[in-house]
Chain A
């Protein structure tokens, strides 16, 4: 395992499950889906109005509001840490930043100067970092739906090479007509709400979230959950269709296990990407078969609860993994009724306590054929 260690010192999240981490934990405990019909998407232009909304209403800058809320919670939970602002890095993960601005400008509707700035992801990162006193190295990551896990990997690398002592990793994307119309054009939305790994699954549900994790150099923080492995790869196959055999994702998983200096048998739980589209879920199942054979550890995914939150997904779902490790339970797979043929038989439908959760594997995949895998460890 690489040194120095990188600890998840604190985190915050605003999701379809509620405005903070405690509401997320409560929803995970009860397996309650946050997907709801939302009148903003009541139009034949959208395949479905069922989405994972986190904001009840919003002004012209929902991306900043989501990211800021999550980061404020993470910092509040952090407590006192004597790290100079210059030693605090900032990594933003987003696919569309404040795309609301583009919709307004296209329509000739008003928007504030600040919202206009935040259409540019790196300016959103700059303003968030400034507002929260992070003056160290800054990166803005946008590798489609793997952005969140890649951002965590980048944050960990900044700490490992001594460029920062702490890094705020923030993932954000907000619900927009822009994205929902796009997934409608791709006919990729499940009309009744996403059902990952289900026999009847036929698409994703769009979601929104802000999520923040504070990474701290191991010797500067109390023992806790550590990020010990990462690997990423490209399918080099197709822009939107994942490789059928899961070889790209398998390559990323091998990379993550190698960095963590572990073997497949060390993994106690897998948190999948699980969008609910037929191809994604089948591809993940194929990758898991390649790595774990017929003895796959427990698997679950939460996009049936939170929707697909794009740039936030990898960060939010890493928080889910952290809660699972801290509270020693297996999160469920909300909205999964009948496990489809070919899916791992170890899929966890309902949450359940477990006594031996030490190593968790987090997977994400995205458009362009990108894959990323992380390994988390309970200290």
Chain B
């Protein structure tokens, strides 16, 4: 079953302590870094921790997860692909 994007957004908000932002406000295709949510490299590492904790996905180097962090949609696709490859 594909990962729930609403749940993923909630996890992102929790992991990064994003104040006053609701899952509904984050668009699926909006960039997470730079513009958009304006996340930075430490946030990316925090998301790496979140992915392992909640989705059991281990990312060794940040480059490996690079394209996956482009948007919520990209991250959801990445999680689905990883899950498919391990089952």
Contact = CB atoms under 8 A, between A and B. Distances in A.
Interface centre among A185, A186, A187, A239 (most CB of B within 10 A): A187
A240 B45 CA distance: 12
Contacts of A239: 42
A238 B38 CA distance: 13
Contacts of B30: none
Contacts of B48: 187
B62 interface: yes
A185 B40 contact: no
Interface string B52-64: 0000000001100
Contacts of A186: 42, 45
Given A187-B61, A187-B62, A241 B45 contact: no
Nearest to A238: B40
B42 A240 contact: yes
Contacts of B61: 187
Interface string A63-101: 000000000000000000000000000000000000000
B41 A240 contact: yes
Helix, strand, loop or mixed for chain B's interface? helix
Query: How many interface residues does chain A have, given as a range?
Result: under 10
Contacts of A240: 41-42
B5 to A, nearest CB: 26
A190 to B, nearest CB: 12
Contacts of B41: 240-241
Interface in A116-143: none
Nearest to A241: B41
B13 interface: no
Interface centre among B41, B48, B49, B61 (most CB of A within 10 A): B41
B38 to A, nearest CB: 12
Interface string B26-68: 0000000000000011100100110000000000011000000
Nearest to A44: B58
Nearest to A202: B61
Interface of B: 40-42, 45, 48-49, 61-62
Report, nearest first, the 6 A-B pairs whose CB atoms are least far apart.
A187-B62, A241-B41, A240-B42, A186-B45, A187-B45, A187-B61
